[in-house]
Amino acid sequence: MDYGLALAFAGAAFATFLSGIGSSVGLGIAGRSASGILSEKPDLYGLMTLLVVLPSTQGIYGLVVSLFVMIKINLFGGDLADISTVQGLQIFGAALSVGIAGLFSGIHQGKVCSGAIQMAAKRPEMGVKAGVVYAALVEFYAILGFLVSFLLIFIGIK
């Protein structure tokens, strides 16, 4: 029995699952900080929302890579592609790139955003200048994981 399709499906699931965990933990960390600040400074709602929502992008990257895997195996076309076990492992590994990058960068981006939220409570003008910029630096590694997954799925796997 060939397990290629099962491995490809598992790769798609792990891409979404792991990056989704990273995003949800990061959102939780940043959200707790913002809730505390907003209880005293509700006028900072817009800035707080921006800083809270930033860690959610990792989950989106994982979902998009899962869709790429589904396209690669022709899930939406009716007849599933004939995927060997080796190809399934390749797809699984390619999808793990965004999953693992998203897991860790989402959590750490939430921590950076939490710090930015605390800073913005005292100096709101620094919220975008430093807070968003620092969070974007963490985001860069999620983007690298996404890029590697994309290139491997569409170029690296024949």
Number of H helices, E strands in the chain: 6, 0
pLDDT tens track for 79-133: 888 899 999 999 999 999 999 999 999 999 999 999 999 998 888 888 778 888 9
For residue 19, what are the domain limits?
4-156
Q: Which CATH number is 128's domain given?
A: 1.20.120.610
pLDDT digits (tens, 9 = 90+) for 20-56: 999 999 999 999 999 989 989 999 999 899 999 999 9
Number of domains in the chain: 1
Identify the CA nearest to 126 among candidates 115, 136, 141, 140: 115
Q: pLDDT category, 1, cuts 50, 70, 90?
A: low
CA dist 19 and 57 (Å) reads 9
Cβ pair 141, 105 in contact under 8 A: yes
**Distance from C-alpha of 80 to C-alpha of 103, rounded to nearest angstrom:** 29
